[in-house]
Amino acid sequence: MRSRIVYGVLGVVIFVLGGITTQHTTAQSANNQAGPSTLYAGTFTYQGELVSNGTAINSVCDFQFSLYSVASGGTQLGSTQTALNVNVQKGRFSVELDAGLNGPFGEAFTGGDRWLGIAVRCPAGTGSYTTLNPRQKITAAPYALSLKPGAVVRSAEPVNSIFTASNLGTSGNGLVGYGATSGVYGEGTSQSNETYGVYGTTGSSSTAASAVYGRNNGTGYGVYGLSSGYDGVFGESTRVSGNGVHGVANNGESAYGVWGQSTNGRGVVGNSTAGTGVSGFSNSSSGVTGSSSSGSGVTGSTSSGSGLFGFSTSGNGVYGYSSNNYGVNGVSGVEVGVQGSGPNGGVRGFSTDNTGVWGQSENGSGIIGVSGGNYPSIWGFTGSSNPAVKGQQNGSGTGSGVEGIAISGNGIVGSSQSGYAGMFYGSVNVTGAINAAVKNFRIDHPLDPANQYLQHASVESDAMKTIYDGVAVLDSDGKAVVNLPDWFESLNGDFRYQLTALNAPGPGLYIAAEIKQNQFTIAGGSAGSKVSWQVTGIRHDPYAVANPLQVELTKPLTEQGTYLAPEGYGHAAAKGVDARYRSAIKNPPSIPSIDVPTAPAQELEQELQRKLERR
């Protein structure tokens, strides 16, 4: 019976703010038009008025909804949606339809016109469905028109975010974009410093929540910012351990987590009130790479943390290159100016004219190197007459030019195959023992000081022996009292004496009184004659008593089987106790070379231009 009733419907499609889930949108400029993109809506509400022969229906009815791209005929898009037990009062009803990606309509909303086909049966659950005519055209809300494919979004104020039904929480994304060129493209035309091309903010405390997140799988950039007056990209984090700007790259040596370039200012500037201004992490290349033709390749400054911090699992934590200034420049008021960690070099700086890496601290250490493997903490190479490592004290304090401290090893080790292992221009002070195979004395040769040295060997003994001598004149009784320094007996003991008459024989000379109260007496000579005397003693001062000379001692386990002079005992030089130091000179650790382009700044600009052209 119902099938013979003529139904009519007046329908309205209502899009509810927050009810549209935009999962894939494209924002484009007029110069970058693209074809229609699929717009994935979440749900929308359809309201209508149902009448039968001019009379409004009051009942519970079932509805079927089908989607078409034409007003009549054509092929149905997706599948039919059914709404059961819909309450119809005075002809009016309201139905919520699913337009999601995985819903019955599928990927039907691509920007073209759409019509809704409706069938109804009343009362619900009985009889067959009656198709209503004509189909109802789905129209967009006025503000939604600005989001059609190819449209340009413009606003006098920064666009804070576009909220969606599934993202009204604090951990979602404000705006998500996908595209063949730019996922999200924003442009601010105002000259005000407060104008942003793209502005993102998040109140989430989650470590995975980003105010702006960009990802690129092609040849472009995850985030690209261009400014003619202020910051191309500005990142700020108020979280205690958050990052102002965080960049990640995992694809090849030419891929950078963060890329910054400037013809006059700074390529990348990072500012954080508590965390890290700029943090770079890389699995294969450099965490942070900087290049400059006149300023600093990378500059970091902080009042409390690390000026620059870089970490890499296989490349360089921080890499800086400058053709005129500093490769890496890090400044910290309290902690570490530059801190880098990496298996091939924590911090590496190169400069063709000045300093590759410069470390300066007002209170702590300018540069600290820490190594837990087979590499030295700080390693210097040079191929010229300049020193590989140099320390200088400028005279404004009491510090040392170079200081070496070791708990169980050697404070300072020097080794050379052709020069001196150690060279000192000035006085040398040693508080402990000096061990050497030969101890020489050398001065300018008195007869040819400009061209020759005069060299003597030191006197050696099996005891800590001291030698004193002099000439005494005998008195009228043929005696002489020799006075020694007041510290003589405090330093020496076990004395030995020698007397030699001068100018005439003295067979009767003898020691009349041995050393007591720092003096001794000579007797048995002729009045007025001269006597040359010599006294030797053995040290018995506190240091000598606490550190007695061991004439024969067993070599340490690490030196057993080696020789100070292996060739003298018929062994090769490899058996020398210093062989490992000589080997280090011949075969230094394999340190990756620094790739220095002929014109680094120009080449970087060309590489950037190529990347821009590929966009």
3-state secondary structure 270-324: CCCCCCEEEEEEECCCCCEEEEECCCCCEEEEECCCCCEEEEECCCCCEEEEECC
Is the domain of 28 the same as that of 142? yes
Is the domain of 90 the same as that of 27? yes
Q: In this structure, is residue 545 part of a structural domain?
A: no
Mean pLDDT, to the nearest integer, of 520-538? Answer: 96
Is the domain of 141 the same as that of 241? no
Which tokens in the block code for residue 374?
């087979």
Is the domain of 295 the same as that of 348? yes
Decide: helix, strand or coil at residue 55. Answer: strand
* Percent share of the chain, pLDDT over 70: 57
Mean pLDDT, to the nearest integer, of 207-226? Answer: 69
Q: In this structure, is residue 204 part of a structural domain?
A: no
Q: Is 59 exposed, middle or buried (0-12, 13-18, 19+ CB in 10 A)?
A: middle
Q: Is the confidence at residue 124, as pLDDT, over 80?
A: yes
Domain boundary among 540, 571, 600: 540
Indicate the pLDDT class of residue 169, thresholds 50, 70 and 90: very low
Which tokens in the block code for residue 298?
């990378």
Is the domain of 486 the same as that of 565? no
Question: Maximum Cα–Cα distance for the chain, whole Å?
Answer: 166
Which residue range is the domain that position 487 belongs to?
A: 465-540
- Given a contact cutoff of 8 angstroms between Cβ atoms, the answer to whether 544 and 490 are in contact is no
Residue 370: C-alpha distances to residues 346, 347, 595 (Å): 9, 11, 24
Which tokens in the block code for residue 578?
């210093």
Is the domain of 472 the same as that of 572? no
Domain boundary among 118, 147, 176: 147
Name the least confident of 14-18, 508-512, 582-586: 14-18
Is the domain of 573 the same as that of 536? no
Taking the C-alpha atoms of residue 290 and residue 321, their distance in angstroms, rounded to an integer, is: 6
* Percent share of the chain, pLDDT over 90: 27
Task: Find the helix or strand (DSSP H, E) in which 67 lies.
Answer: strand 59-68
| Nearest partner of 38 among 100, 97, 96, 81, judged by Cα | 100
What is the structure's pLDDT at 580?
74
Residue 491: C-alpha distances to residues 467, 487, 498 (Å): 12, 6, 20
Q: In this structure, is residue 407 part of a structural domain?
A: no
- Given a contact cutoff of 8 angstroms between Cβ atoms, the answer to whether 113 and 69 are in contact is yes
pLDDT tens string 246-283: 777 666 656 667 777 666 666 677 766 666 666 666 66
Query: Domain holding 110: CATH number?
Result: 2.60.40
Is the domain of 347 the same as that of 478? no
- Given a contact cutoff of 8 angstroms between Cβ atoms, the answer to whether 14 and 130 are in contact is no
Mean pLDDT, to the nearest integer, of 227-236? Answer: 68
pLDDT tens string 35-48: 444 444 567 888 88
- Given a contact cutoff of 8 angstroms between Cβ atoms, the answer to whether 66 and 76 are in contact is yes
Q: In this structure, is residue 215 part of a structural domain?
A: no
Its pTM stands at: 0.47
Is the domain of 519 the same as that of 567? no
| Nearest partner of 173 among 198, 207, 204, 143, judged by Cα | 204
Output 95 or 233, whichever has higher pLDDT. 95
| Nearest partner of 68 among 19, 124, 118, judged by Cα | 118
Please give the radius of gyration of the chain, using alpha carbons only, rounded to the nearest integer.
Answer: 46
Mean pLDDT, to the nearest integer, of 295-299? Answer: 66
Q: In this structure, is residue 599 part of a structural domain?
A: no
pLDDT tens string 325-352: 666 766 656 555 666 666 555 676 666 6
Is the domain of 532 the same as that of 490? yes
| Nearest partner of 335 among 301, 310, 369, judged by Cα | 301
Taking the C-alpha atoms of residue 37 and residue 39, their distance in angstroms, rounded to an integer, is: 6
Output 18 or 512, whichever has higher pLDDT. 512
Taking the C-alpha atoms of residue 188 and residue 232, their distance in angstroms, rounded to an integer, is: 11
What is the structure's pLDDT at 232?
67
Mean pLDDT, to the nearest integer, of 298-322? Answer: 67
Taking the C-alpha atoms of residue 475 and residue 113, their distance in angstroms, rounded to an integer, is: 137
Residue 259: C-alpha distances to residues 245, 255, 266 (Å): 11, 9, 11
What is the structure's pLDDT at 103?
84
Indicate the pLDDT class of residue 30, thresholds 50, 70 and 90: very low
Output 394 or 560, whichever has higher pLDDT. 560
Spatial CB neighbours of 498, under 8 Å, sequence gap ≥ 6:
533, 534, 535
Q: Is the confidence at residue 294, as pLDDT, over 80?
A: no
Is the domain of 6 the same as that of 142? yes
How many domains, the chain?
4
Domain boundary among 332, 362, 392: 362
Taking the C-alpha atoms of residue 456 and residue 472, their distance in angstroms, rounded to an integer, is: 28
Output 493 or 337, whichever has higher pLDDT. 493
Average pLDDT, the chain: 74
Output 14 or 126, whichever has higher pLDDT. 126
Direct distance between the N- and C-terminal alpha carbons of the chain, in angstroms, rounded to an integer: 65
What is the structure's pLDDT at 58?
93
pLDDT tens string 441-452: 888 998 999 999
Is the domain of 22 the same as that of 109? yes
DSSP 3: G
Mean pLDDT, to the nearest integer, of 585-598? Answer: 55
Peptide bond into 387 cis (omega under 30): no
Taking the C-alpha atoms of residue 122 and residue 130, their distance in angstroms, rounded to an integer, is: 9
- Given a contact cutoff of 8 angstroms between Cβ atoms, the answer to whether 113 and 45 are in contact is no
Q: In this structure, is residue 164 part of a structural domain?
A: no
Q: Is the confidence at residue 5, as pLDDT, over 90?
A: no
Q: In this structure, is residue 21 part of a structural domain?
A: yes
What is the structure's pLDDT at 314?
63
Q: In this structure, is residue 288 part of a structural domain?
A: yes
What is the structure's pLDDT at 26?
30
pLDDT tens string 150-163: 544 444 444 444 44
Residue with tokens 């989650």: 206
